[in-house]
Amino acid sequence: MDAHQIASGQAPAAIIEELSRRIGKRFLDHPFRNGVNKDNFETVIADYLAMSIAFPFIQAGAIHETYKAAQRAGGDTDKNAEITGGPSALFWCGTK
């Protein structure tokens, strides 16, 4: 299975389950699970800031292989690649 197949939604359920297991093992609790209150505000807002800063880089990494595959193909992409890449391209063009 290549990155294009994964990015276009063709990944088998087993891969998604394995990724979920690994993420759950590494990150035991979601930072927003208990809400925001006076006692946890600093921790929660620090996590939120980190996610906000990281988002553009995560998004770029997520579409990188799909974008390269579309360039190599030199033609139309499949519908799943368009669904993935379209909003990402609009996001990036809108931030400049």
pLDDT digits (tens, 9 = 90+) for 35-68: 888 998 998 888 889 888 888 888 777 777 777 7
Backbone torsions φ then ψ of 85, nearest 5 degrees: -80, -30
Torsion of the alpha carbons at 7, 11, 17 and 15, rounded to the nearest 10:
-100
Mean predicted confidence (pLDDT) in 25-43: 82
Which token pair is 5?
């197949």
Please determine, for residue 69, whether its predicted confidence score (pLDDT) is greater than 80.
no
CA R_g for the chain: 17
Task: Give residue 1's pLDDT band: very low, low, confident or very high (50, 70, 90).
Answer: low
Alpha-carbon span 10 to 21, nearest angstrom: 19
Please determine, for residue 86, whether its predicted confidence score (pLDDT) is greater than 70.
no
